[in-house]
Structure 1
Amino acid sequence: MRILLIMDPGIPVPPEAYGGHERLVYLFAEEYQKLGHQVTLLAGPDSHCSGTTVAFGVNNLNRSVLQKNKEVIFAWQYLYRNLHNFDLVHNFGRLIYLLPVLNSPVKKIMTYGRPVSTKGIRLLVKLPHKNLIFSACSDYCVSTGNVAGHWETVYNTIDFSKYQLNQHIAEDAPLMFLGRLDKIKGAHTAIKVAKATHHKLILAGNIPTTPDNLHYYKTEIEPLIDNDRITYVGALNDREKNTYLQQAKALLFPIEWDEPFGMVMIEAMACGTPVIAFKRGSVPEVVQEGINGFVVKDASAMAAKLAVISAIDRKQCRESAKQRFDVDIIAKQYLSLFNG
């Protein structure tokens, strides 16, 4: 099959550090190619994959509306001129990119990794269209957009071969928090739980740039970092994530919003590190109670589960997640969507 993968410009594919969706697109590009398909990637500058790469736009998340409109026009022109070269268009970028090919016979998958704007869905499906499937990364995420059209849940993925299992950790092993240091991610709660249970905590992730979240970081997080009990290690690349997650007793995921998926949960599980997470968004779909972690309602319940975290078999933690979320499984799920 000849597959076109589309991702918005702004961050290159694959990303150097932050960029969950861009990392997903790269994984699918490589896995589709590995499965014998011919892959073309349409993405921002400095992107690459084992197939063919076509660059467009600029890598700037704060680029202007005018620039974004230019990118839409480029995508339209590229699709119009090259559609005959593809059997499947798998779009992780803006929905509007698909407008010129909506009613063409080519197979189309529109994938979402965040809550969906239902207005765009309703408008689009009123237009003549065929061979179009909407997908999202969890049942929760599907529920935000499933107002019209054909929807499927296909979970996010990682390459489990890039993460190594650590079955045995010390009793005084640290806890870990990994994610953007925005308030809704709950780093302050992770610190509270670590202190209450007398654990060390490793904080990792991007320092916010928006004024409200930067104020939160400066006032509620940074003053508590002592590089002894609470250590901040910066934003991590994939190799560094593997290193730190392996040595953690548990990953704390005390989110204050409805997370559409939460890639860090399966990254931790891939190392055998169980996850204790708040019951929001997709968490109950990802965490299997007592097998690879626990789903809890608040900080006190999170702290209580740390007392029994050693009962989780770290090898089983990894295997249970690998069977559901490894890239070879998820890529085949996408490719099978049109086989039913």
Structure 2
Amino acid sequence: MKILLIMDPGIPVPPMLYGGHERLVYLFAEEYHRLGHEVTLLAGPDSYCNGTTITFGTNDLERSNATKNKEIVSVWKYLHHNKKSFDLVHNFGRLIYLLPILNGNLKKLMTYGRPVSRKGIKLFTTLPNRNLLFTACSNYCVSTGNVAGSWNTVYNAIDFSRYEVNDVLNFNMPLMFLGRLDKIKGVHTAIEVAKATGNNLILAGNVSHTSDNLAYFKTLIEPQIDGEQIRYVGPLNDLQKNNYLRQSKALLFPIEWDEPFGLVMIEAMACGTPVIAFKRGSVPEVVQEGVNGFVVQDKAGMVKKTSELAKIDRLRCRQNAESRFDVKVIASEYLSLVNG
């Protein structure tokens, strides 16, 4: 099968550090290629994969709307001239990219990893369309956009072969927080839990440059980083992420918003590290109670569960997550959808 994958510019595919969706697109491009399909990737500058890569647009997350509109036109032109060259278009970018092929015989997968614009779905599904399937990364995420069209839940994935499991729990292991150091990610709660339980805490991830989140980091988080109990190690590449996660007793995920998935949860599980997470968004779908972590309502629940981590079999934690979220499993689910 000839497959075209599309991703918005802004961050290259694959990303060097931050860029969960870009990493997903790369994984699927590589897995489709490994399965023998002819893969073309349409993405921002500096992108690459083991198939053919066509780049467009600008790698700048703060680029103007005018620039984004030019990118839409670039995709439209490419699809207009090459639509007969593919059997499947798997779009992880903007829905509007699909407009030139919306009513064509070409199979189309539109995949969402963020809350969905219902207005956009309603508009597009009123237009003549064929062979268009919508997917989102969790039942929760599907619920944000399932107002029209054909929808399926297909979870996010990682390549488990790139993560090393540590099946031994040591009392002196630190807790870990990994993600953007924003208020909605609950960094302050992770620190409070570490202090309440006497655990060390590793903070990892990028500091947002938006004024509100930068002020949050500077006033509430940075003053508590002492280099001993609370350590900040900055953004991590895949190798560093693996090393820190496998040496942690648990990943804390005290989110203050309904996160559609949270790749970091399965990255932790791949290392055998259980997740203690607030019951928001997709968390109850990803974390299986007592198998690969605990789902809690609040900080008090998180504090309590840090003393129950010995109940988790770290090897089983890894095996359970791999059977559900490995890229081979998820890529097969996508292909099954279009192959009937």
What TM-score do you get using the length of structure 2 for normalisation?
Answer: 1.00
CA displacement, residues 244-289 of structure 1 (integer Å, 9 cap, x when unaligned): 0000000000000000000000000000000000000000000000
Deviation at 1:191, TM superposition (A): 0.3
1:79 aligns with 2:95: no
Matched residue, 2:209: 209
Hey, what's the Cα distance between the residues in 2 that align with 1:207 and 1:126? Answer: 41
Mapped pair 1:13 → 2:44: no
Residue 230 of structure 1 corresponds to which residue in structure 2? Answer: 230
Match of 1:290 in 2: 290
Secondary structure at the aligned position of 1:169 is classed as coil
Alignment partner, residue 299 of structure 1: 299
Match of 2:50 in 1: 50
Distance 1:124 1:155 in 2: 24
Partner of 2:313: 313
2: CA distance between counterparts of 1:7 and 1:301? 39
Quote the residue 1:257 is aligned against: 257
**Separation in structure 2 between the aligned mates of residue 239 and residue 150 of structure 1, nearest angstrom:** 38
Q: Distance in 1 between matches of 2:35 and 2:266?
A: 23
State the match for 1:69 in structure 2: 69
Counting only pairs closer than 5 Å after superposition, residues 110-121 of structure 1 correspond to structure 2 as 110-121=110-121
Letter aligned with residue 26 of structure 2: Y
- TM-score, with structure 1 as normaliser: 1.00
Provide the rounded CA distance (Å) in 2 between the counterparts of 1:208 and 1:8. 20
Structure 1 CA distance for aligned equivalents of residues 188 and 71 of structure 2:
39
User: Does structure 1 retain, via aligned residues, the 8 Å contact 2:7–2:43?
Assistant: yes
**Aligned counterpart, 1:166:** 166
Pair 1:40-2:40 in alignment: yes
- State the Cα deviation string for residues 134-178 of structure 1 (Å, max 9, x = none): 000000000000000000000000000000000113211100000
Contact 2:169/2:310 (8 A) holds in 1: no
CA distance in 1, matches of 2:198, 2:137: 35
1:236-255 to 2 correspondence within 5 Å? 236-255=236-255
CA distance in 1, matches of 2:69, 2:256: 33
Aligned to 1:219: 219
**1:203-239 Cα shifts (integer Å, max 9, x gaps):** 0000110000111000110000000000000000111
Which residue of 2 is the match for residue 155 of structure 1?
155
- Count residues with an aligned counterpart: 340
> Is there any run of 5+ residues in structure 1 with no aligned partner, and where?
none
Match of 1:185 in 2: 185
Q: Considering only aligned residues, what root-mean-square deviation do their CA atoms show, in Å? A: 0.5
The Cα shift of 1:60 comes to 0.3
Question: Counterpart amino acid of 2:322?
Answer: K
Residue 194 of structure 1 deviates from its aligned partner by 0.3
1:130 aligns to 2:135 (yes or no)? no
State the alpha-carbon separation in 2 of the partners of residues 315 and 197 from structure 1.
Answer: 25
Q: 2:222 is matched by which residue type in structure 1?
A: E
Q: Residues of 2 paired with 1:244 and 1:194: CA distance?
A: 16
What is the CA-CA distance between 1:311 and the residue it aligns to? 1.0
Q: Kindly state the Cα deviation for residue 338 of structure 1 after the two structures are TM-superposed.
A: 2.1
Shift in Å at residue 310 of structure 1? 1.0
